[in-house]
Structure 1
Amino acid sequence: MKDAFGTPQSLLVLGGTSEIALATARRLIARRTRTVWLAGRPSPALETAASGLRDLGADVRTVAFDALDSDAHEAALGKVFAEGDIDMVLLAFGVLGDQARDENEPGAAVRVAQTNYTGAVSAGLICAKSLQTQGHGSLVVLSSVAGERARRANFIYGSSKAGLDAFAQGLGDALYGTGVHVMVVRPGFVHSKMTAGLPAAPLATTPEIVATAIETGLRRRSETVWVPGTLRVVMSALRHVPRAVFRRLPV
């Protein structure tokens, strides 16, 4: 169960090598989180991530999980929930893709969509059902401001995040009143391995800043968190720009 300050004592990370997820786990462990499950493809990186969190004093376990293998999701995630209640699930997996390549290789574009959306729908529903069965818990979904309005430069990634965002918002409405809290996190450009080599966008942030926003959102039981908060206003304005004008903007 969460403590009196709303800090989860147990955490399941879907996407166990995500820099944002690991920054969040470190921050929560520094408070009261004691049990952490890292779900991801078995790899040295996953084991290194687990070892690093163990050094902070947490009981950390790993579980094999592949966003693209939805047929195996129920068994993998069921194994975690069978071990005890989970206070917080952080859905943090996703791929950016390569827009230029993906436009010319539809199969690659489909993998972006399957990872960011289809895989998230599968895992999100399974976790939501388990959280509802135990009667409490938070499902935190890492979305993106890219899903607010598709841009020419990354509309494949953006459309997959738009689908994820709509799914998570709807899931939150469906679970309202059940004791399960769904929080959608919309970061802007985050300096990370995934964005290495790309020109930073305005209002760029870091995994640590996103982690702080997630912790604050949990404490407030927020339903939507923008990182940084200024993006709420920026994206509201961009959503209402006429399409003919939007096409000419350098965004």
Structure 2
Amino acid sequence: MKDSLGSVQSLLVLGGGSDIALATARKLAQDRTKRIILAGRPSERLDAGADLLRGLGAEVRVVNFDALEFGEHEKVLAPLFEEGDIDVVLLAFGVLGDQKTDERDPLAAAKVVQSNYVGAVTSSLVVAEALKKQGHGALVVLSSVAAERGRKDNFIYGSSKAGLDTFAQGLGDSLQGTGVHVMVVRPGFVDSKMTAGLPKAPMSTTPEAVAEGIVDGLRREADLVWVPAQLRYVFSGLRHLPRPAFRKVVDKQA
């Protein structure tokens, strides 16, 4: 449970090796978060992240979790809540895929959707039920501005995030009155290992800036967070552009 100052005491990260996840965990550990669980596929990066957080004074546990192992999600995640209350769950896993390759390989496209959407749905439902049973807590879901409108260069990834975004908003509404808060985060282009080698989009951001937005959003109990914040207004306009005009805007940015 949060302490008397409202600070997060315990954090569960799904996708603990992501740049945004680790940046958020670092920021929270530097604040007052003392118990952190990093769930993800075994990797040197995950272990290095755990060591860094331990160096900041946090008690860190690493758990083997695979977004694509849908049938294992309840068995892996539910017991974590039996060990003690968890204040915040951060759902940070996801894959970008390669649009051109995935268009020619339906199975590769399906893997992107299964990871970003199906795995997110099954794991979110498990943790939401656990949070509801303990009577408090927050689920933070990393969406993307790509969820706003389909674009020819990333519509497979974007559609998976659009599904997740809608699911998370509805889940949040369904949990009203239970003590559980769901917050959707829509970053723009994030300069990270996932986007390495790709040309930066306008108003690009960093994992650290997204982490700042997440922590601030939790403090405010926001339902939706854009990073950077001005993207809210940009996409408010883009959302209502006629399709031909939208295509022209996107083509100029490509």
TM-score computed with the length of structure 2 as normaliser = 0.97
> Identity of aligned pairs, percent?
65
CA shift, 1:248, in A, is: 2.4
Q: How does 1:58-77 map to 2 (within 5 A)?
A: 58-77=58-77
Q: Which stretch of the first structure deviates more once superposed, 100-109 or 237-246?
A: 237-246
CA shift, 1:137, in A, is: 0.2
Q: Distance in 2 between matches of 1:42 and 1:195?
A: 21
Q: Distance in 2 between matches of 1:18 and 1:214?
A: 15
Alpha carbons 1:132, 1:178 under 8 Å: kept: yes
Q: How does 1:195-206 map to 2 (within 5 A)?
A: 195-206=195-206
Provide Cα deviations, 1:159-179, integer angstroms capped at 9, x if missing partner. 000000000000000001110
Q: 1:108 maps to what in 2?
A: 108
CA shift, 1:235, in A, is: 0.6
Q: 1:18 maps to what in 2?
A: 18
Specify the SS of the correspondent of 1:93: coil
Q: 1:157 maps to what in 2?
A: 157
Q: How does 1:55-204 map to 2 (within 5 A)?
A: 55-204=55-204
Q: Distance in 2 between matches of 1:168 and 1:6?
A: 24
Q: Which runs of 5+ in 2 are unaligned?
A: none
Specify the SS of the correspondent of 1:171: helix
CA shift, 1:95, in A, is: 0.3
Return the letter of the residue paired with 1:169: Q
CA shift, 1:244, in A, is: 1.7
TM-score computed with the length of structure 1 as normaliser = 0.98
Q: 2:212 maps to what in 1?
A: 212
Q: Distance in 2 between matches of 1:220 and 1:177?
A: 17
Q: 1:46 maps to what in 2?
A: 46
Structure 1 segments of 4+ aligned residues over 4 angstroms from their partners: none
Q: Distance in 1 between matches of 2:110 and 2:231?
A: 28
Alpha carbons 1:7, 1:218 under 8 Å: kept: no
Q: Distance in 2 between matches of 1:135 and 1:218?
A: 17
Q: Distance in 1 between matches of 2:5 and 2:116?
A: 32
Number of residue pairs aligned between Structure 1 and Structure 2: 251
Alpha carbons 1:147, 1:158 under 8 Å: kept: yes
Q: 1:248 maps to what in 2?
A: 248
CA shift, 1:133, in A, is: 0.1
Q: Distance in 2 between matches of 1:95 and 1:153?
A: 15
Q: Distance in 2 between matches of 1:63 and 1:39?
A: 5
CA shift, 1:7, in A, is: 2.0
CA RMSD of aligned residues (A): 0.8
Q: Distance in 2 between matches of 1:6 and 1:204?
A: 31
Specify the SS of the correspondent of 1:74: helix
Alpha carbons 1:5, 1:219 under 8 Å: kept: no
Return the letter of the residue paired with 2:23: A
